[in-house]
Structure 1
Amino acid sequence: MSTVLVTGGSGFVGGHVILQLLEAGHTVRTTVRNLSKEAAVREALTKAGATNLDKLSFFAADLEKDDGWAEAVAGCDYVQHVASPFPIAQPKDEMELIRPAVDGTLRVLRAARDAGVKRVVQTSSFAAVGCGHGHRDTPYDETDWTDVNGEAVQPYMKSKTLAERSAWEFVTDEGKGMELAVVNPVGIFGPALNGDLSTSIELVKRMLEGKLPGAPRLYLGAVDVRDVAGMQVKAMTDPAAAGQRFLATAGGVLSMADMADILRAGMGEKAAKAKFRELPDWLVKLVAIFNPLAREAVPRLGIKGEASNAKARDLLGWKFRSNEESIVASGESLIRLGIVQPS
């Protein structure tokens, strides 16, 4: 078994990647910005059924600083680069997101190359694939890239696109034989590990609590975090994955109303509050005059950006959990962890 560094081990995806690596018998290191998080991360992993926790060690490292990265990656065979900023609200200055995403990616790649790492697997996003193109009838695939100058491309989308492009350029120009594989998930759902919720799971939480009385006509793809983590682990060692990017999606797109219907159908009375009305476009545009979150939504109203999972199925042999399974698992985990009280 190999020694693997996972960046951002306290996060939603990072935690699940650690779980699967430990289950497979690997020795795992993970970075956190502050070692004070170690106890909470270990507790969350234990509750999630982690075994071999004696094979897990923690290192302090920040994407915006050089300190700690050489020590964290020394002796590692592989790196899972998961850490990246993901805000609920977009910053006023887009460079607050772009700079740490790009610089942090290059910082990790340099340290990995210098340590003789065989392959880095980077968690990118559909945000680096299918944004800025307006309405499109055909699904996006791995040959597509977000147009960072396109309409409605927000700082987060730019940060993921530019970070991934910089990674490919680095490996080509300066990688000295180190390999790269990239996983590009759509909206990530599935079981939360602790109260540090991703943006997607926060949306489910608000629905279950009845705090989303109305929602704009927005659509998103969905994928289970266990599938994202599994794809990352598979892409780490599968010879066919070297130099490839893979869209992670269960298939199709969902509206907010679709998600609420899935929660009520799958969770019964526990999701009784998960119902709201879809706001008409004209009302969202009116609210956007004085509400920045509504303003961000306006250019994406009604756009269904679907992604294809054909490459992940064909090249990695991956079988995805359904949208229904991942969204219900999100809700059930929130109740199990006591984050949401059942209706």
Structure 2
Amino acid sequence: MADDTVLITGGTGFIGQHTIIAALAAGFRVRAAVRSLNREEEVRAYLSHGGVEPGDRLSFVETDLVKDEGWAEAAQGCVYAIHSASSTPSGNYASEEDWIRPAVDGNLRLLHAARDAGVKRVVLTSAFGAIGAGKASLGRPFTEEDWSDLDGPIAPYQKSKTLAERAAWDFISDEGGQMELATINPTAVMGPALGPDTSHSLMMLKGIIEGQPGQPRIQSCFVDVRDVADLHLRAMTDPAAAGERFLATSGDALWLVDVAGILKERLGEQARKVSAKEVSDADMKAAAETDPKMRALLPLLGIDLSASGDKARRLLGWHPRPPAEAIEAAARSLIEVCIINV
């Protein structure tokens, strides 16, 4: 019902902020969880940039994925919870455990608190990284039935998302009581940035626009952050979403040279530094001998990462924007907030 309170974690994040906007627009009250209450004014400024002035319909609470304090208070009185907080590739982590423990333990802290507070349903922001990582091309699009291969060539972030989502489903099965769970698994998230807290997907776009010398033979599906937020709200309220995973993805997979072409076509002079040249796999492997960042990309070269968003469309009536529109919106916003130097 409208006016119910929704706990949304990751309130300083790209997806979290757009989900706050979507929940407020739908008439809910929002309790945003952040690691430091010192960031409330900053988050409100981002939301204002997005056209929202929520006043007292938005409140803030302090939680940390690696600490027990604050979670019970955060969940108290909430009908729903959307858990978008997680370790991200923009972080600086010394070991694989630095990725995995906050993701897994943070999910469990939220789920314990939500269950004990009588929350009806939790929507967990997972990732395509929990579906299609560590695998060769399937010869078909990835779906919600797929899980990443932890024994394959999988990056720490993708491994953390896989283990964290599995831990969440195990919790619901073993000790979730009457509480329901749904997960959203976005592919590369584009769309408008509201401020400097963006995503690793947008940082990929930054490199292309600022003139990296060519595009590796890497493919991805894309989705607009506004549509990801909308899907979270649908999964939160629609009875059909209980116990389900939903891939958030729009249109066909694109190679990075295709993304470069979209930028050159839509941005004109602002895309003058964009290279439409494709870097050969051989050149990537040569660069990887001395560059760890290049080395991390090698398992992705040439892999078909097509994914299907049909389930969300069929069950929840979700209708996302085309990927080119999402990519253009992301690029223009990054230029506007001075994250990209054109």
TM-score under structure 2 length normalisation: 0.96
Please tell me whether the aligned partners of residues 261 and 276 of structure 2 are also in contact (alpha carbons under 8 angstroms): no
Alignment match of 2:140 (pick from 138, 146, 159): 138
Question: Matched residues in 2 for 1:285 and 1:271: separation?
Answer: 27
**One-letter code of the match for 2:122?**
V
The answer as to whether partners of 1:128 and 1:146 remain within 8 angstroms in 2 is yes
The answer to whether 1:245 aligns with 2:245 is: yes
Task: Please name the residue that 1:34 is paired with.
Answer: 36
Q: Which residue of 1 aligns with 2:83?
A: 81
* 1:182–1:246 contact (8 Å) kept in structure 2: yes
Distance 1:163 1:198 in 2: 19
Give the secondary structure class of the aligned counterpart of 1:251: strand
CA 1:89–1:214 in 2, change beyond 3 Å: closer, same or farther? farther
Q: Aligned residues, how many?
A: 340
Match of 1:25 in 2: 27
Q: Is the 8 A contact 1:189 1:327 kept in 2?
A: yes
- Give the CA deviation at 1:192: 0.3
Contact residue 29 and residue 72 of structure 1 kept, 8 A: yes
Counterpart CA distance in 1 for 2:263 and 2:61 is 38
Alpha-carbon distance, 1:258 to partner: 1.0
Distance 2:136 2:91 in 1: 22
1:42-72: CA deviation from partner (whole Å, max 9, x where unpaired): 0010111014332001111100001111111
CA RMSD across the alignment: 1.3
Q: Once the two structures are superposed, what CA deviation does each residue of 1:67-115 show, in whole Å capped at 9, x if it has no partner?
A: 1111111100000000011114884521110111000000000000010
Question: Aligned partners of 2:235 and 2:121: how far apart in 1?
Answer: 9
Distance apart, 1:293 and its partner CA: 1.3
- Residue 215 of structure 1 and its aligned partner are, at CA, apart by 2.9
Give the aligned partner of residue 119 of structure 2. Answer: 117
Equivalent residue, structure 2, for 1:201:
202
Match of 1:171 in 2: 172
Report how far residue 202 of structure 1 moved: 1.3
- The equivalent of 2:337 in structure 1 is 337
Q: Is the 8 A contact 1:90 1:156 kept in 2?
A: no
With over 3 angstroms needed to count, the CA separation of the structure-2 counterparts of 1:105 and 1:74, relative to structure 1, is same
Moved more, 272-281 or 326-335: 272-281
* Residues 264-284 of structure 1 deviation map (CA, whole Å, 9 limit, x = unaligned): 111211222222522111111
Cα pair distance change 1:162/1:315, threshold 3 Å:
same
CA distance, structure 1, for counterparts of residue 100 and residue 335 of structure 2: 35
TM superposition shift of 1:206: 2.4
CA–CA separation in structure 2 for the residues paired with 1:205 and 1:47: 20
Paired letter, 1:29: R
Residues 1:186 and 1:171: Cα distance change in structure 2 (over 3 Å): same
Q: Matched residue of 2:81: which SS?
A: strand
SS of residue in 1 equivalent to 2:252: coil
Amino acid in structure 2 at the alignment position of 1:313: R
The 10-residue stretch of structure 1 (40-49 or 132-141) with the greater mean CA deviation from structure 2:
132-141
Aligned-pair distance for 1:289? 1.7
Q: CA distance change for structure 1 residues 305 and 312 in 2, over 3 Å: closer, same or farther?
A: same
CA contact under 8 A between 2:185 and 2:248: conserved in structure 1?
A: yes
Separation of aligned partners in 1, 2:326 and 2:214: 23
Segments of 5+ residues of structure 1 without an aligned counterpart are none
